[in-house]
Amino acid sequence: MRAKTLQRWSWVHTWSSLICTVFMLLLCLTGLPLIFHHEIGHLLGTEVEAPAMPSDTPRMSLDKVLEVARGQFPDRVPQYASQPEDSEDIWFVTMTPTPAPTDDYRSVAVDARTGALLAEPRADRGFMWVMFKLHVDLFAGLPGKLFLGLMGLLLLVAIVSGVALYGPFMRKLEFGSVRRERRASVKWLDLHNLLGIVTLVWLFVVGATGMINTWADLLIKFWQHDQLSALLAPYAGQPTVPLAERASVQQGLDAALKKAPGMKLSFVAFPGTAYSSPHHHTYFLRGNTPLTSRLLQPVLVDAKTAQVTAAPALPWYLTALLVSQPLHFGDYGGRPMQIVWAVLDLASILVLGSGLYLWLRKRRAASRPGRRASVVTADGVGA
């Protein structure tokens, strides 16, 4: 019975690993530069920085910032306005032909103190954009995201089955043993098992958070249908508020901050966009600690009156999504955590690559007459 159980676990581990390995290798390779996306952006000159000024320099109203942005693209409407987490000196405004979600967008970076146009950054081109798209959706949109989510699920199955096999495999060996005196396949098997155990928790965390991130679009749509629809009942039948009829965005921001004291703005979603309703400016506020800065509080402000109409608490599934996003890329602990994430990413590439190598070697050896039994004996259950 025990032998049959191990055989089942071996079959599950082999095929779950094989199916997802190529895609996991791609995600590890593309994820490595994304861990250092800010640093690489500085090297490539794509990061926008505001000129140094005294810290007490007064800042312009958000309405004037939006005027600057609309002056650059008068035929477009603002979809989002945001500020970096580490600076309140810059506003980034996303402009699109219509409020509806689209890939046809232009971004404007405006100095929050002087109103000067700092840049028109393009996030839809260049090396980091290619890495990001490959990592997030394989250039396939939502279907690509869901496919990668399935590969993440198979990775978790491979990890669990690998743990189930590791104990029986290591009964006659010391923990961490690498039998260097044996043939290459045995040494690679030992290295594969050792690195697999070392990276076990990290791979599980990154795989699980990555899988959750692939559900982001669906979770947001479900939240809008499940909770926001009830809040929007008084606006039933009304069209999206046109730009000319909207109240002051800065006045709405002041009302939102008053509703949630001690919080700061993360971004504003304008009426009709994916993160708002057709009738509201939705202000997403964040806290000031490493954890609460990732947890957003939406405040819905009537786009015509600038009055707060609701501040619903995010449901648990969106909280899980927001927590998982920075954890996936190691954004919680600054440079030390980035370095740890990069080292573990490289170790995971070795785990995945060695597993693929062992399977291919085993298949080649098994196809030769008279070699099958010896190869299986040498590789053991983990091969």
**Section 243-253 average pLDDT:** 93
pLDDT at 79: 94
Q: Band of the pLDDT at 372, cuts 50, 70, 90?
A: very low
**Is residue 248 one of the residues assigned to a domain?**
no
pLDDT at 42: 81
Which of 35-39, 167-171, 327-331, 377-381: highest mean pLDDT? 35-39
| SS3 per-residue string spanning 136-171 | HCCCCHHHHHHHHHHHHHHHHHHHHHHHHHHHHHCC
Is pLDDT larger for residue 85 or for residue 188? 85
Beta pairing class for 264-269 and 280-286: antiparallel
**Section 294-322 average pLDDT:** 92
Q: Band of the pLDDT at 377, cuts 50, 70, 90?
A: very low
CA atoms of 35 and 10, how far apart (whole Å): 33
pLDDT at 177 over 80: no
CA atoms of 146 and 101, how far apart (whole Å): 19
In the chain, what percentage of residues exceed pLDDT 70? 87
The overall average pLDDT reported for the chain is: 85
Element (H, E) at 96: strand 90-96
**Is residue 151 one of the residues assigned to a domain?**
yes
**Section 39-65 average pLDDT:** 88
pLDDT at 265 over 80: yes
pLDDT at 188: 62
pLDDT at 88 over 70: yes
**Is residue 294 one of the residues assigned to a domain?**
no
Q: Band of the pLDDT at 379, cuts 50, 70, 90?
A: very low
Q: Band of the pLDDT at 333, cuts 50, 70, 90?
A: low
| SS3 per-residue string spanning 170-213 | CCCCCCCCCCCCCCHHHHHHHHHHHHHHHCHHHHHHHHHHHHHH
**Is residue 6 one of the residues assigned to a domain?**
yes
**Is residue 341 one of the residues assigned to a domain?**
yes
Tell me the whole-structure pTM to 2 decimals.
0.83
Identity at 19, one-letter amino acid code: I
CA dihedral sign, ordered 211, 92, 104, 123: negative
pLDDT at 230: 82
Q: Band of the pLDDT at 378, cuts 50, 70, 90?
A: very low
Query: Beta-carbon neighbour count of residue 179 at 10 Å?
Result: 12
pLDDT at 231 over 80: yes
**Section 49-56 average pLDDT:** 87
**Is residue 226 one of the residues assigned to a domain?**
no
pLDDT at 1 over 70: no
Lowest mean pLDDT across 95-109, 126-140, 289-303, 355-369: 355-369
**Is residue 257 one of the residues assigned to a domain?**
no
pLDDT at 176: 54
Least Cα distance to 211 among 292, 129, 155 occurs for 155
Q: How open is the CA angle 314-318-320, to the nearest 5 degrees?
A: 120
**Section 220-233 average pLDDT:** 85
pLDDT at 270: 95
Owning domain of residue 208: 2-38+132-214+333-379
**Is residue 193 one of the residues assigned to a domain?**
yes
Least Cα distance to 265 among 109, 46, 83 occurs for 83
pLDDT at 31: 93
Per the structure, the count of domains in the chain is: 1
**Section 74-79 average pLDDT:** 93
**Section 191-202 average pLDDT:** 74
pLDDT at 374 over 70: no
